Amino acid sequence: MGSHFRSYIWDPVLILSQIVLMQCIYYSFLGLWLAVVDSLVQTNRSLDQIFSYEVLGFATMQGRLSMMAFILNSLTSALGQWFFIRRGKQCLDFTITVHFFHMIGCWIYNTHLPAALSWWLVNVACMALMAVIGEYLCMQTELRAIPVNSGPKSNL
């Protein structure tokens, strides 16, 4: 019989709940970062900032600040992976899943696939940041030394 250390058990309920949790973390913190950015420049808040691909751009100050909010959101989403996913091997999967559902949401909101190059660049950069930082944090936790002698010492 082989070792069962860190054996993976297929648990679809756990995976679906983690997907929903990561989507909630993604949109909650994105809304928070956008609210912080909007308070800095006194702009109106709207769903366009989250789902409209035309808002993200290098030409306007609001577009650059929105891109900054998306990048900051990838950092906080990586922390969410560290707290709730806890497996470095799964960080890329959850990152792609979160951004795939975001792309579907943008597609539904705009009634067509996002066409702006800046939207694609920002989302690819955010995917890379979220996956790499989340995997790094999870790997640091997984590689911690396991205490071997944690019981009380006996005097022989």
CA–CA distances in Å: residue 76 to residues 32, 34, 58, 139:
11, 13, 23, 17
Q: What is the pLDDT of residue 1?
A: 45
100 to each of 36, 37, 97, 117, how far by Cα in Å?
25, 24, 5, 17
pLDDT at 150: 61
The mean pLDDT of 80-94, rounded to a whole number, is 90
What is residue 153's three-state secondary structure? coil
Q: Which two tokens stand for residue 37?
A: 């950015």
Q: Is residue 2 scored above 70 in pLDDT?
A: no
- Output the CA angle 98-59-37, nearest 5 degrees: 55
- Render pLDDT for 90-149 as a digit per residue (tens, 0 to 9): 999 999 999 999 999 999 999 999 888 999 999 999 999 999 999 999 998 888 767 676
For the purposes of burial, counting CB atoms within 10 Å of the CB of 85, is it exposed (0-12), middle (13-18) or buried (19 or more)?
buried
DSSP type of residue 145: P
For the whole model, what pTM was predicted? 0.83
Domain boundaries, the chain: 13-140
Calculate mean pLDDT across residues 34-54.
Answer: 85
The pLDDT mean for the chain works out to 87
- What's CA 138's distance to the chain center, in Å? 13
Q: Is the pLDDT of residue 18 over 70?
A: yes
State the chain's maximal CA–CA distance in angstroms. 76
* Residues 76 and 135 sit within 8 Å (Cβ to Cβ): no
CA atoms within 13 A on the CB side of 6: 6
Predicted confidence at residue 135, as pLDDT, reads: 94
